[in-house]
Amino acid sequence: MRREDTAFALASAPGRAGVALIRVSGPAAEFCVKALTRKQIPPPRRAEIRFLKDQAGAVIDRGLVLWFASPASLTGEDVAEFHVHGGRAIVDAVAAALAAIPGVRPAEPGEFTRRAVENGKLDLTQAEAIADLVDAETEAQRRQAVRQYDGALGTLYETWRSDLMKALAWAEAAIDFSDEDLPGDVLADARRVAEDVRDAVTAHLNDARRGELVREGLFVAVIGPPNAGKSSLVNALAGRDVAIVSETAGTTRDVIEVRLDLGGYAVVLADTAGLRAAGSEVEAEGVRRALARAEAADLVLLLRDGSEPDLPIYMPNKLVNKPCIIVWNKVDLAWPEAQDGLCLSLKTGEGLEAVINAIAAEARKQLESPGEAPALTRVRHRQALTEAAEHLARAASAEAQELFAEDLRLAVRAIGRITGRVDVEDLLDVVFRDFCIGK
Ligand SMILES: Nc1nc2c(ncn2[C@@H]2O[C@H](COP(=O)(O)OP(=O)(O)OP(=O)(O)O)[C@@H](O)[C@H]2O)c(=O)[nH]1
Ligand SMILES: [Mg+2]
């Protein structure tokens, strides 16, 4: 679907900077270049230095102008780029000059990526990958997003979808024609393919949410008895004072979260209230929140006080099977006799590196894919694949050929929704609500 209107947006970050990039996409892009430069468009993909002028002909700035002719452009439409000096007044003046041109308006959040999807330049998983790339804060997030942008995930899902479409064609042939007219047992072939895809989808779904965890971060709860140094540890890892540290046992009440990059992985670290039979109602609520957070965490860091080794640890049974790192703190005061964990002194810094390494190692274990297959990265994909797997399970037990074919058809549709091959109009709003790049 070709759009009639032309949109422009500041593609670089707003504010003062060396350079600002203003992008224009749509049928009037060529006219925009001519209007602002009073010259013909430059040859495609070749930067030219031009004066940019306002309506009255006054020079706004001198900058680079680039031209990308449809369809070989970011959006698939005619695209022009103006690289100007990154001052607010310059960007405002260029925007005003563009907005004055009939049929040209500011773009909506994510509109250029959306146009790229509408024009078949990107599938939906690639559009989502662009949002992830812009948001990537850690190496693992960047690697995963680049891979998805490269089409790894889209290709995987499209392969499953085309396999299922082939099986569906066989199943429909088996319904429409008699056995004698068909080569071999096409229905058995169709069932085998459907089963193979179902196995692959199920394995992909059972990946312990690796891809999603890379995006969202591994949740780590720091728990332990009061005064063990939990808040001190969170501050040391965060490199700033996020939580109050005091010698009064029972200082921390609420759960305090910090997002960190540990060894290239996103980690959400939570400081919690010290676990003990609480003295007050507020403290009891703190303990309840601490335990709830520990239960929901992907990793528990149990911090114990080396100078008080006899303090009971209050670990509910539910937490026993959680991945857990035990750390004995305050070894500057007393070295623990127990050999069940790492030794740390937040006062001297001894052992801190080992604690960081242990968390990073656990993050790597939980987040890194063991094989080559790309990981599932979004709840939206998980929902569609779960639905596809359910249809394939039903197909496997369907006796009647018509029911088998119908379930295959529904599975094909569910997978097609991930890449936007079907129902793309309905999906665009959902996908683009999440991100606003290319404003
Ligand atoms: N000597 C010594 N003192 C420490 C060390 N780590 C923390 N402390 C001190 O221990 C006290 C308690 O530290 P916090 O970080 O507030 O302990 P917490 O576990 O968060 O305590 P609650 O929030 O009350 O559960 C503070 O006075 C810290 O300065 C350490 O390695 N050695
Ligand atoms: Mg604390």
**pLDDT tens digit sequence for 33-83:** 999 999 999 999 999 999 999 999 999 999 999 999 999 999 999 999 999
Give the Å distance between the CA of 276 and the centre of ligand 2.
13
pLDDT of residue 374: 85
Identify the bridge partners of residue 259 per DSSP, sorted by sequence position: 268
The whole-model pTM stands at 0.80
**Nearest ligand for residue 351 CA:** 1
Question: Does residue 323 have a cis bond before it (omega within 30 degrees)?
Answer: no
In the Cβ-directed half-sphere of 160, how many Cα atoms lie within 13 Å? 31
Whether 113 has a pLDDT exceeding 50, the answer reads yes
Probe residue for ligand 1, chosen from 222, 230, 232, 344 as the CB with the greatest number of ligand atoms within 8 Å: 232
The pLDDT confidence band at residue 436, using thresholds 50, 70 and 90, is very low
**Nearest ligand for residue 332 CA:** 1
Compute CA 179 distance to the chain's CA centroid, rounded to the nearest angstrom: 49
The pLDDT confidence band at residue 17, using thresholds 50, 70 and 90, is very high
pLDDT of residue 437: 40
CB neighbourhood size of 342 (10 A): 18
By alpha-carbon position, which residue is closest to atom 11 of ligand 1?
A: 247
For residues 305 and 336, what is the distance between their CA atoms, to the nearest angstrom? 9
pLDDT of residue 119: 93
Contact criterion met (CB below 8 Å) for 419 and 125 = yes
For residues 8 and 150, what is the distance between their CA atoms, to the nearest angstrom? 26
Give the Å distance between the CA of 217 and the centre of ligand 2.
22
**Average pLDDT, integer, range 78-96:** 97
Q: How far is CA 206 from each of CA 194, 199, 210, 219, 386, rounded to the nearest angstrom?
A: 18, 11, 9, 19, 10
**Nearest ligand for residue 243 CA:** 2
Q: Which has more pLDDT, 347 or 370? A: 347
Residues listed for the chain = 439
Pocket of ligand 1 (CB under 6 A): 226-232, 245-247, 249-252, 273-274, 329-330, 332-333, 345-347
Cα-based angle 318, 320, 325 (whole degrees, multiple of 5)? 130
pLDDT of residue 173: 87
Contact criterion met (CB below 8 Å) for 109 and 437 = yes
pLDDT of residue 434: 57
Q: What are phi and psi of 236, to 5 degrees?
A: -65, -40
**Ligand 1 atom with least separation from CA of 250:** 24
**Average pLDDT, integer, range 178-197:** 85
Whether 429 has a pLDDT exceeding 90, the answer reads no
**Nearest ligand for residue 250 CA:** 1
Contact criterion met (CB below 8 Å) for 399 and 231 = no
By alpha-carbon position, which residue is closest to atom 7 of ligand 1?
A: 229
Whether 333 has a pLDDT exceeding 80, the answer reads yes
Contact criterion met (CB below 8 Å) for 145 and 122 = no
Whether 110 has a pLDDT exceeding 90, the answer reads no
For residues 191 and 196, what is the distance between their CA atoms, to the nearest angstrom? 9
Q: Which has more pLDDT, 187 or 352? A: 352
Give the Å distance between the CA of 81 and the centre of ligand 2.
52
pLDDT of residue 435: 54
Ramachandran category for residue 9: left, alpha or beta (phi over 0 → left; psi -120 to 50 → alpha) = beta
Whether 93 has a pLDDT exceeding 80, the answer reads yes
Probe residue for ligand 1, chosen from 227, 247, 333, 342 as the CB with the greatest number of ligand atoms within 8 Å: 227
Q: What are phi and psi of 153, to 5 degrees?
A: -75, -45
Whether 391 has a pLDDT exceeding 70, the answer reads yes
Contact criterion met (CB below 8 Å) for 65 and 48 = yes
As a whole number of Å, the CA-based R_g of the chain is 29
Identify the bridge partners of residue 53 per DSSP, sorted by sequence position: 59
Give the Å distance between the CA of 357 and the centre of ligand 2.
22
Quick one: which of 87, 114, 84, 101 has its CA closest to 23? 84
For residues 291 and 297, what is the distance between their CA atoms, to the nearest angstrom? 10
**Ligand 1 atom with least separation from CA of 225:** 25
**Ligand 1 atom with least separation from CA of 249:** 24
Both tokens of 59, joined, read 């020079």
